[in-house]
Amino acid sequence: MSIPRVIGHDDVWDTFRRALEQRRLASTFLFVGPAGIGKWSTAWNLAQALLCETTPRDALRACQACPSCTQVAALTHPDLLVVRKPDDKNFIPVELFIGERERRMREGLCHDIALKPFRGGRKVAVIDDADYLNQEGANCLLKTLEEPPANSLLILIGTSQHRQLPTIRSRCQVIRFAPLSDEQVDRLLADRQLVEAPERRAVVVARAAGSLQRAMELADPDVAEGRRVVFEHLSQRDVDAVTLGKYIHEFVEAAGKEAPPRRARLRLVVLDVADFYRALLRRLSGTRESTDAESEPYVAAAVGHWAGRAVIAADCLERCLDALVQIEANANLPTLVGCWIDDLAQVTLHHA
Ligand SMILES: [Zn+2]
């Protein structure tokens, strides 16, 4: 097993390399940037390079072959601690930081990071979902962040600086990750043979907004078909909300039994519907050009029965943005789909 190669983010590696050379590597970092652009992969690769037992420490390069490198790749290295939000929780449980009630402060990240390194010269800890740190979890981390144990490195990963509690933000060196370029996403898709046809790849790349994760979700042929069906519904004069809601519900369930892929799929559908209303608004306001060839024919078909109703289209778009927020807040998905489609139907019917 090997760690996924990171594309881009050379500036991040340069920052770490310089700090190591100058022997001024900070102990606590906050990685921020959009989801799915390689923040976790970068942290994982950095951990491997820092814990590698054969390359010089300052080189920040992993040999990929020593026992330490193998263990980091398998996430079994005793000096690499990783904390993630469990799928069924809305925040990171405090137990992951300070241990279960009966073993308080005798296990968990805050305890383990203070132990002497088992194998190599340091401990590396990664908190992969820092957006989901609540006040209680953050309080547990404060002491570790304020007085990091010698030879420890703690990396928190979040989507934006502003989603972090001020007490956390102020104690970390912030490293910003830029979205990948379209060329990088295109190359990654081609290398992994995820989307073979160049014209289809161009559509996926344009909609991925620099996120490989998003691009991989969009590469699924079922997702492309789902998008077409949803646009077809939306282009009708009288949108059949019941049938559309049922279709979306089944489409989301088909993503698998687990909540994360279902949530990811619903996010794509809501984004599609948002795209539709955004394109419609552009049309209604007289800006004809669209960057989305897939939605264009459906929007063109709908624009006639939307004349003079730009305010409603804007309202629908806003409902979609609300739905996206609710998806991130782990709302119950079937309920969310029902309410969202109902809302859209109400808004459009009421003003028809
Ligand atoms: Zn190694």
User: What spacing in Å lies between the alpha carbon of 300 and ligand 1's midpoint?
Assistant: 57
pLDDT at 288: 67
User: What spacing in Å lies between the alpha carbon of 335 and ligand 1's midpoint?
Assistant: 49
Q: Reply yes or no on whether the pLDDT at 351 is more than 60.
A: no
Residues 212-239: pLDDT tens digits?
Answer: 999 999 999 999 899 999 999 999 988 8
pLDDT at 352: 52
Is residue 271 within 8 Å of 279, Cβ to Cβ? no
User: What spacing in Å lies between the alpha carbon of 12 and ligand 1's midpoint?
Assistant: 21
Averaged over 320-328, what is the pLDDT?
A: 94
Residues 234 and 141 in one domain: no
User: What spacing in Å lies between the alpha carbon of 185 and ligand 1's midpoint?
Assistant: 28
Say which CATH number the domain at 34 has: 3.40.50.300
User: What spacing in Å lies between the alpha carbon of 53 and ligand 1's midpoint?
Assistant: 5
User: What spacing in Å lies between the alpha carbon of 51 and ligand 1's midpoint?
Assistant: 7
What's phi and psi for 165, nearest 5 deg?
-65, 140
pLDDT at 350: 57
User: What spacing in Å lies between the alpha carbon of 8 and ligand 1's midpoint?
Assistant: 22
Q: What percent of the chain has pLDDT over 90?
A: 76
pLDDT at 334: 94
Residues 157-186: pLDDT tens digits?
Answer: 999 999 999 999 999 999 999 999 999 999
User: What spacing in Å lies between the alpha carbon of 79 and ligand 1's midpoint?
Assistant: 14
Taking the C-alpha atoms of residue 6 and residue 247, their distance in angstroms, rounded to an integer, is: 37
User: What spacing in Å lies between the alpha carbon of 46 and ligand 1's midpoint?
Assistant: 12
Instruction: Tell which wins on pLDDT, 120 or 86.
Output: 86
User: What spacing in Å lies between the alpha carbon of 58 and ligand 1's midpoint?
Assistant: 13
Q: Is 184 among the domain residues?
A: no
Is residue 215 within 8 Å of 266, Cβ to Cβ? no
User: What spacing in Å lies between the alpha carbon of 64 and ligand 1's midpoint?
Assistant: 5
CA dihedral 301, 305, 310, 313 (to 10 degrees): -70
User: What spacing in Å lies between the alpha carbon of 88 and ligand 1's midpoint?
Assistant: 35
Structure tokens at 41: 């992969």
Q: Reply yes or no on whether the pLDDT at 261 is more than 80.
A: yes
Q: Reply yes or no on whether the pLDDT at 18 is more than 70.
A: yes
Instruction: Tell which wins on pLDDT, 333 or 289.
Output: 333
Q: Is 195 among the domain residues?
A: no
Answer with the one of 176, 202, 236 that is the final residue of a domain.
176
Q: Reply yes or no on whether the pLDDT at 110 is more than 90.
A: yes
CA dihedral 197, 198, 203, 204 (to 10 degrees): 70
Taking the C-alpha atoms of residue 109 and residue 93, their distance in angstroms, rounded to an integer, is: 12
- Full domain range(s) for residue 84: 10-176
User: What spacing in Å lies between the alpha carbon of 32 and ligand 1's midpoint?
Assistant: 27
Residues 29 and 113 in one domain: yes
User: What spacing in Å lies between the alpha carbon of 30 and ligand 1's midpoint?
Assistant: 25
- Count of C-beta atoms within a 10 Å radius of residue 66: 18
Q: What mean pLDDT, rounded, does the chain reach? A: 92
Is residue 25 within 8 Å of 153, Cβ to Cβ? yes
Element (H, E) at 45: helix 39-51
Residues 16 and 155 in one domain: yes
Sign of the C-alpha dihedral computed for residues 81, 87, 89 and 91 taken in this order: positive
Residues 28 and 160 in one domain: yes
User: What spacing in Å lies between the alpha carbon of 49 and ligand 1's midpoint?
Assistant: 7
User: What spacing in Å lies between the alpha carbon of 325 and ligand 1's midpoint?
Assistant: 42
Residues 30 and 124 in one domain: yes
Residue type, position 339, single letter: C
Residues 233 and 166 in one domain: no
Length reported for the chain: 352
Residues 139 and 255 in one domain: no
User: What spacing in Å lies between the alpha carbon of 70 and ligand 1's midpoint?
Assistant: 7
User: What spacing in Å lies between the alpha carbon of 301 and ligand 1's midpoint?
Assistant: 59
Residues 224 and 160 in one domain: no
CA-to-CA dists, residue 42 to 46, 96, 109, 126, 155, angstroms: 6, 22, 20, 11, 11
Q: Are strands 80-83 and 173-176 parallel, antiparallel or unpaired?
A: unpaired
The total domain count for the chain is 2
Answer with the one of 115, 143, 176 that is the final residue of a domain.
176
User: What spacing in Å lies between the alpha carbon of 122 and ligand 1's midpoint?
Assistant: 14
Hunting for tokens 């390359």 — which residue is that?
A: 55
Answer with the one of 141, 176, 211 that is the final residue of a domain.
176
Residues 148 and 224 in one domain: no
User: What spacing in Å lies between the alpha carbon of 184 and ligand 1's midpoint?
Assistant: 27
User: What spacing in Å lies between the alpha carbon of 148 and ligand 1's midpoint?
Assistant: 25
Structure tokens at 48: 């491997």
If you ran DSSP here, which 8-state letter would residue 253 be given?
H
Task: Tell me the pLDDT band of 87, cut-offs 50, 70 and 90.
Answer: confident
Residues 171 and 38 in one domain: yes
Is residue 133 within 8 Å of 168, Cβ to Cβ? yes
Residues 171 and 225 in one domain: no
Residues 154 and 232 in one domain: no
Is residue 151 within 8 Å of 122, Cβ to Cβ? yes
Q: Is 70 among the domain residues?
A: yes
pLDDT at 205: 93
User: What spacing in Å lies between the alpha carbon of 154 and ligand 1's midpoint?
Assistant: 20
Taking the C-alpha atoms of residue 114 and residue 214, their distance in angstroms, rounded to an integer, is: 37
Q: Reply yes or no on whether the pLDDT at 347 is more than 90.
A: no
User: What spacing in Å lies between the alpha carbon of 63 and ligand 1's midpoint?
Assistant: 4
Predicted model pTM: 0.84
Q: What string of DSSP letters covers 284-349?
A: HTT----S-TTTHHHHHHHGGGGTT-HHHHHHHHHHHHHHHHHHHTT--HHHHHHHHHHHHHHHHH
Q: Reply yes or no on whether the pLDDT at 245 is more than 90.
A: yes
Is residue 280 within 8 Å of 313, Cβ to Cβ? yes
User: What spacing in Å lies between the alpha carbon of 144 and ligand 1's midpoint?
Assistant: 27
